[in-house]
Structure 1
Amino acid sequence: MGAAPNEELARLKEQVALQEKEIALLLDVSRQIVTLLDIEQVLSLVADRAMELIQAESLLIPIINKTTTHYLYQATSGKNADLIKGQQFPIHVGMCGWVLTHERPLMFGRDYPWEMDEKTRWEEGKESALLVPLIARGRIIGGLSGIGRAGGGSFTQRDLELLMLFANQVSVAIENAQVFRELETEKEMAEITLHSIADGVIRTDARGIVQYLNPVAEFLTGWKRNSAVGQHADQLLPPMISEERAVSSVVTRCLENRETVVESDYEFLPKGLEERLIVQLSASPLHSSDAELSGTVLIFRDITQAQEIATTMAYQASHDALTGLFNRAVFEERLEQLISESRENDAEHTLLYLDLDQFKIVNDTCGHLAGDELLRQISGEMKEQLRHDDLLARLGGDEFGLLLAHCDEQCGARIAETLKDAISDFRFVWKEKSFFIGVSIGVVPITRHAGNYTSLLVAADRACYAAKDRGRNRIHLYREEDVDLNRRHGEMEWVHQISQAMMEDRFVLFAQPIRPLQAQDQKARHELLLRIRSESGELTPPGAFIPAAERYDKMTEIDRWVVATAISKIGSSRALTAMESEVRAVSPR
């Protein structure tokens, strides 16, 4: 009679001791797991303690992948642990797959039979299995799977309750470790990226103290990471070659103003290098998730090559490739500026138009290479005679334009004389041949009454031709009332009209019969009369265009046309009759 109470008491003591052991194990796991963030360590601890808690032969931890299509046995403990760890299965396969897809626990054993269509090989033939889902913050992340009870037999309802309690306790810790692993991976990838990019990167805390710098930043600043970390970022910036701007406080300004600070064209000489570098600096604030300022990121972008390319392109866009002088575009822009300045401030400037006199002889005698070299050497000679602010440009061929700012007509004439003398004294030598080179210069004042850009260039061109027409290697000062210049301008316009009329077949030849005074002379004779028919149909007599043709070497072309046309018509009396009939309607000369 007394034995039964003693046995019951012993059984109760055993249960209490077991529960105390289980509670101690759960508490021990809780204490250990909160100090761990490495996912492998967390899962290994959970597998070992869960196997001990439910007395399983093997404890498996399947973790669902991100796409939720498969699960991977990421941690194992006990029998066949090394064989099972790392195995991956589709989410629907095995008892683990059933638990993960249904998000419900599963207990299989003698008293809990379960028929599975597809099991994993270590689930086959097992007398008992116990599986519970790992659910963290309402999302299933994996499970705990006890396969086979140590010593035989089946898992009990008590084992199921303990494993579910354990799963609830560790699931959040496992998820935290997963998140930490992902963050660490992202951090590693970010650092790999920062190590790989061509820009220098420095990260600071909210005080401007360096926390990280990549290899490019090490190279640009001359600081190694172990020495730079802990220093204020402003101390890392190398001094500028030019001290015109103070940029040493770029990080400090970013922190104080809480906005991005950009410094362009930061030019300095890195340690150990002989060539300067130009970088663009930008310091941007970093904010935490609660919008608090947490630090800055400082970017060094090497723009040395880009600057050099931009400088080269700007030079090429504004300079003549052969001579290195400014080109026509820059000349035109500067001339417009001087015209505006003259009108607004009543300032006086001067335009010089220069045309080399013997350039064609050099080109024809020695070839274009010699002509190019002549242009280069003459350009150098002229540049040596100029003031600092004068603008000399090659306008095309052997023609040059010179703009003399704040230089009146007398000043311009003196500089023109200096240039003419310098070029006259210059001798161009090519392959033992020596050439005298002259220059004809037209001088045009730029005043408030000078007119626009086009009229000034026309005036300069006319003055230059006047200088050339008077014997070459001369200077001609433009005057609006210059009769000879205006006449020559009219002749020059006729040169174009003669060429145009020849191309459009607007020359007209008339035959005027010559009648003999003595009746016995019966020979037919004619005088040929030349006219130009204008685009409107009017006839222009030769007195208007022949002087221009004679001055500008157009007479030979006209003579050939007249002779060829006359010969083609002499043999036809009908053609002569037609020419005679037309002549009656025009003046004889």
Structure 2
Amino acid sequence: MGRKGVPAAQEQLRELQDRLRQREAEIAMLSELTEVIGSEYNLQKVFDLVAVRARELLHAETATIPVLSPDQKTYCYRAADGKNADELRFAELPIETGICGWVFRHRKAWWKGVLDQLEASERNKWEKEAGTVLLVPLVGKRQFLGGIACINKVDGASFDTQDYDLLNLFAGQVSIAIENAMFFEELTEARHKAEAYKEKLIESNQKLTRSNEELQHYAVHDPLTALPNRTLILDRLQQGILTARRDQKPMALIMIDLDHFKEVNDTLGHSVGDDLLISVGKCFQSALREPDTLGRLGGDEFAVVLPQANREAALTVARKLQLTLQQPVEIDHNSFSIGASMGIAVYPEHGSDPSALLRSADVAMYMAKRNRDEYVIYDPDTDINNPNRLELLRDLRAAIQEHEIGLAFQPKLDLRNQVITGVEALARWTHPARGVIPPGDFIPVLEHTGLIKQFTLQILEKAVQYCKTCQQRGYRISVAVNLSMHNLRDENLPGQITAILQRHALDRKYLMLEITESAIMNDPERSLDILTRLDDMGVQLSVDDFGTGYSSLSYLKRLPVQQLKIDRSFVSDMMNDKDDAMIVHSTIDLAHNLGLHTVAEGVETEQVLDELKTMQCDIAQGYLISRPLSPDDFLSYLDSGEWKVNRIEEDADSCSNY
């Protein structure tokens, strides 16, 4: 070797030594980077570290970490370092875009050596960027992750084979770290989801437990008043009977029905009715002992189970319950007075099982309501379904079929001119074995069994026929017949009455139909429809027993009636009771202000008659004028001249038809 060759060899040696040192430095840097990155499990921090170290490792102006989306339709720069890093970081592009897209589509690295593998058109497209961009894939054990891209070397040179090998080696090492961080992130997210799911599961279980508890509660409690419902009352009743049977002691049941509650609902609204039920329930509860159970059976019906209570104890509780209703109930700054009808049944006297005891108490409650008593103890003689009552029903059905129920007639006196102008037809039944049976004993049976419609038509037929007979004798009188609430639900009634009037050629103005206030208010709208049709026919209408029901003045104004009939309970004792006298006087004034006539029934003394005249009552009816008379006796009564009676030949203008 010549002298000139020695320096050249020495220069080559130095270059090799420099390369070796650089390679050693790069290997040391890779080892350090791998250790640092491998100890980090925060995925974003791993991406950031890889971008920084890749740029430093290749002396690039910019380094980015593009990552494929899960659907592999886009990629996002999850990290960037160096020039324009802020603009690039988290930018999202479609996979068809740029060199990143090319690498992801072809699953191989991009560097200038790739140009030789491209077709001419594609080579021309990428040739300018071939040496300025180096991008190698990040490939994990489970999936293609993305890539590491370095852009523009700081010294302006192109990326060469050595850069490619170095970045590819780096990518291979960090891929594992990235995949581990991804797995750790998925694991952490899964753990968080599991914890959240566990919390939701616990919460759901708690809600389910609460819901089950609520369902169990509402299964046996009334949702409005929170009182025990029918199911729980029956259970408590059964338990009470078992205990009473074991201890050989009595127990009792009280059934309660609020008076005129339907009218409250219809006139004041269901929300007021609901509030009233809640308040009444609280009032009742305040009067009971701890062992007693108060429940709501539905609607306006309540029940009280009284363990180890005899007849006297049950009566005491009933009185206490009634006392709680003496104070008006306050709802929305308004006061309401409400009454109740109560039926009492005692084990074992009135029933040995829950259904029998409930039925007995219900029958007693019905009797209390019908007789306007505060409370009634079950009496088998008033039960239409006991053997005696069933026998009565059989005989009653036969009596209707054979037209054996007759009529008695009680006259009405016009107080303005002391003239008999009308008569009320009253049903009378003389049983072949039992003798005379009062209407109060057999009318409820008719209403309960549905025979009332057939019965009413028979009474109307006989009454209209008799009225015509009286007129043929020369007496101008009208006849009044009572209707029940069942008749007011009969759409055929107006047509049937028309047919009866036509059969006997009686002018419609001579027929007066009396309907109790409570019967009308049982179903106000339906009653109004039937009454309007009857009024359109020309039939006279009267509200019977006025003052004992619960009708509002606004509804009373709508009724097509001509007369109010004041109940005997107010009239008979008005001379001794100032309150009764005030009620009678106020009712007369109210009726006149509404353009209606008034009838006072129960007139038995001259003093009452004179007072009614002073109050300007229109008509009087009662034993002072005449007791109810048989058809023959009534004609004799008219013939006797005891009271003046308008004659057919007299001027119609001087006659009253009420």
Aligned equivalent of 1:63? 67
Superposed CA deviations along residues 366-421 of structure 1, whole A, max 9, x for unmatched, are x999x9999999988976775432345677899875543234xxxx1332454577
CA distance in 1, matches of 2:57, 2:104: 22
**Aligned partner of 2:311: which letter?**
A
| CA contact 1:349–1:406 (8 Å) conserved in 2 | yes
1:317 Cα shift? Answer: 0.8
Aligned equivalent of 1:174? 178
1:406 aligns with 2:308: yes
Aligned equivalent of 1:253? none
Identify if the C-alpha distance between structure 1 residues 52 and 497 changes in structure 2 by more than 3 Å, giving closer, same or farther: same
**Aligned partner of 1:9: which letter?**
L
Identify if the C-alpha distance between structure 1 residues 428 and 501 changes in structure 2 by more than 3 Å, giving closer, same or farther: farther
Which residue among 101, 120, 126 is the counterpart of 1:97? 101
Mind listing any 5+ residue stretches in structure 2 that lack a counterpart? 330-336, 405-426, 447-451, 469-499, 506-658
CA distance in 2, matches of 1:42, 1:485: 94
Identify if the C-alpha distance between structure 1 residues 87 and 377 changes in structure 2 by more than 3 Å, giving closer, same or farther: closer
- Return the structure number with greater relative CO, CA threshold 8 A, min gap 6: 2
**Aligned-pair identity (%):** 28
CA distance in 2, matches of 1:188, 1:424: 63
SS at match of 1:562: helix
**Aligned partner of 2:291: which letter?**
D
1:541 Cα shift? Answer: 8.3
CA distance in 2, matches of 1:419, 1:476: 13
1:54 Cα shift? Answer: 3.9
Identify if the C-alpha distance between structure 1 residues 395 and 495 changes in structure 2 by more than 3 Å, giving closer, same or farther: farther
Aligned pairs for 1:144-543 (under 5 A) are 144-179=148-183, 317=222, 330-341=232-243, 345=246, 347-351=248-252, 387-391=289-293, 402-407=304-309, 412-416=310-314, 418=316, 428=326, 444-446=346-348, 450-460=351-361, 489=386, 492-493=389-390, 507-509=401-403
Identify if the C-alpha distance between structure 1 residues 83 and 507 changes in structure 2 by more than 3 Å, giving closer, same or farther: same
Identify if the C-alpha distance between structure 1 residues 169 and 114 changes in structure 2 by more than 3 Å, giving closer, same or farther: same
| CA contact 1:355–1:441 (8 Å) conserved in 2 | yes
Identify if the C-alpha distance between structure 1 residues 419 and 165 changes in structure 2 by more than 3 Å, giving closer, same or farther: closer
CA distance in 1, matches of 2:280, 2:12: 124
Which residue among 54, 74, 77 is the counterpart of 1:73? 77
Which residue among 531, 543, 547 is the counterpart of 2:437? 547
| CA contact 1:462–1:489 (8 Å) conserved in 2 | no
CA distance in 2, matches of 1:147, 1:153: 11
Aligned equivalent of 1:250? none
| CA contact 1:59–1:76 (8 Å) conserved in 2 | yes
Superposed CA deviations along residues 229-277 of structure 1, whole A, max 9, x for unmatched, are xxxxxxxxxxxxxxxxxxxxxxxxxxxxxxx9x9xxxxxxxxxxxxxxx
Identify if the C-alpha distance between structure 1 residues 187 and 115 changes in structure 2 by more than 3 Å, giving closer, same or farther: farther
Identify if the C-alpha distance between structure 1 residues 491 and 64 changes in structure 2 by more than 3 Å, giving closer, same or farther: same
Aligned equivalent of 1:33? 37
Identify if the C-alpha distance between structure 1 residues 565 and 122 changes in structure 2 by more than 3 Å, giving closer, same or farther: farther
| CA contact 1:47–1:59 (8 Å) conserved in 2 | yes
Aligned equivalent of 1:584? none
1:59 Cα shift? Answer: 3.6
Mind listing any 5+ residue stretches in structure 1 that lack a counterpart? 202-259, 263-279, 283-299, 511-529, 533-539, 573-589
Identify if the C-alpha distance between structure 1 residues 31 and 424 changes in structure 2 by more than 3 Å, giving closer, same or farther: closer
Superposed CA deviations along residues 202-237 of structure 1, whole A, max 9, x for unmatched, are xxxxxxxxxxxxxxxxxxxxxxxxxxxxxxxxxxxx
Higher helix share: 2
CA distance in 2, matches of 1:184, 1:423: 66
1:131 Cα shift? Answer: 2.9
Aligned equivalent of 1:537? none
Superposed CA deviations along residues 181-216 of structure 1, whole A, max 9, x for unmatched, are 66677889999x89xxxx999xxxxxxxxxxxxxxx
Which residue among 545, 553, 562 is the counterpart of 2:462? 562
SS at match of 2:76: strand
Identify if the C-alpha distance between structure 1 residues 551 and 450 changes in structure 2 by more than 3 Å, giving closer, same or farther: closer
SS at match of 2:313: helix
CA distance in 2, matches of 1:74, 1:474: 86
CA distance in 1, matches of 2:125, 2:256: 100
1:108 Cα shift? Answer: 0.9
| CA contact 2:296–2:302 (8 Å) conserved in 1 | yes
TM-score, with structure 2 as normaliser? 0.47
1:498 Cα shift? Answer: 9.3
Which residue among 133, 146, 152 is the counterpart of 2:137? 133
| CA contact 1:129–1:145 (8 Å) conserved in 2 | yes
- Count of residue pairs the alignment pairs up: 422
CA distance in 2, matches of 1:90, 1:29: 31
Q: Cα RMSD between the aligned structures?
A: 6.1
| CA contact 1:61–1:76 (8 Å) conserved in 2 | yes
1:132 Cα shift? Answer: 1.9
**Aligned partner of 1:156: which letter?**
D
Aligned equivalent of 2:111? 107
CA distance in 1, matches of 2:372, 2:42: 97
| CA contact 2:465–2:504 (8 Å) conserved in 1 | no
Identify if the C-alpha distance between structure 1 residues 116 and 439 changes in structure 2 by more than 3 Å, giving closer, same or farther: same
Identify if the C-alpha distance between structure 1 residues 186 and 54 changes in structure 2 by more than 3 Å, giving closer, same or farther: same
SS at match of 2:240: helix
1:7 aligns with 2:11: yes
Identify if the C-alpha distance between structure 1 residues 124 and 181 changes in structure 2 by more than 3 Å, giving closer, same or farther: farther
CA distance in 1, matches of 2:88, 2:295: 84
Identify if the C-alpha distance between structure 1 residues 444 and 121 changes in structure 2 by more than 3 Å, giving closer, same or farther: same
1:18 Cα shift? Answer: 2.4
**Aligned partner of 2:307: which letter?**
A
1:64 Cα shift? Answer: 1.9
CA distance in 2, matches of 1:303, 1:14: 77
Identify if the C-alpha distance between structure 1 residues 317 and 117 changes in structure 2 by more than 3 Å, giving closer, same or farther: farther
